Amino acid sequence: MDDGGVGSASSMPVILNNNNFAKGTPTLLSLDDARTLFHELGHGLHGLLSDVSYRRLSGTQVLRDFVELPSQLFEHWISEPEVLQRHARHWQTGSAIPAELVVRLQRAQQFNQGYETVRYTASAMADMAVHSLTDAEPPADLCAFEADLLQRMGLPSAVGVNHRLVHFQHLFAGSSYAAGYYVYIWAEVLDADGYDAFVEAGNPFDSDIAARLLRHIYSSGNSVPPADAYAAFRGRGPTVGPLLKKRGLLQAEPA
């Protein structure tokens, strides 16, 4: 099959994840390292669980603003107490992570999220602005262009941006993320809303929801339009509320 069929037993996917973690004796993973591991494993599962007929439609070969959904969604399980109790163990005693520390870790996830959201959004908007230029020649002074843009956007000077345009390798090392840096926060809208299906079920390991996630997201690749695939999993389109709640940006409802 010229296109590289992956639907038969003779064409099983082979996935390799390489992670750069600090060496040590012993080698210990921080929570950020563990979250990265889960993120990349989510990408790996996207390929391993792919069940379509053609390689060009399989696994992670989906639209750029959909490829981060399976990986970012899988990050949610690293914060589940059951997962931490099983895997986050003291390297010397083997004892499980204390329950009170799990609570502190979960609360810390909302720290500084207003600041981080503004920084990220500013970089995404700068990306869109620079790729919306119609002149053949780039601005003579890219830093001046950026400063003027951020001032017009009203970005507080104390906040800044995630990436300065002069070293924004996501955008200029290739075409993949050009005018597409927004995809991470859009994928977070999807992953927060998608994980809420498990929250609503009252069980992060609900088998029925997991089966829908497998069928419509992890295994379908690009054989189904992303919006249709998500709606088939969730029963509706995504909403932004779960993301705002996850980041602590929604005002708490009165008791």
Neighbours of 72 (CB within 10 A): 24
> Is the CB of residue 7 less than 8 Å from the CB of residue 53?
yes
**Contact 108/43 with Cβ under 8 angstroms?**
no
| Selection from 12, 13, 30, 11 nearest residue 21 by Cα | 30
**Which residue of the set 40, 80, 116, 137 is catalytic?**
40
Beta bridge partners of 89: 96
Q: Which two tokens stand for residue 67?
A: 């490829």
CA gap 114, 146 in Å, rounded: 22
CA distance linking residue 34 with residue 78, whole number of Å? 7
Is residue 39 classed exposed, middle or buried when 0-12, 13-18 and 19+ CB atoms within 10 A define those classes? Answer: buried
Catalytic, 40? Answer yes
For residue 11, what is the DSSP state? G
Cα separation, 110 vs 62, whole angstroms: 30
Known catalytic residues are 40
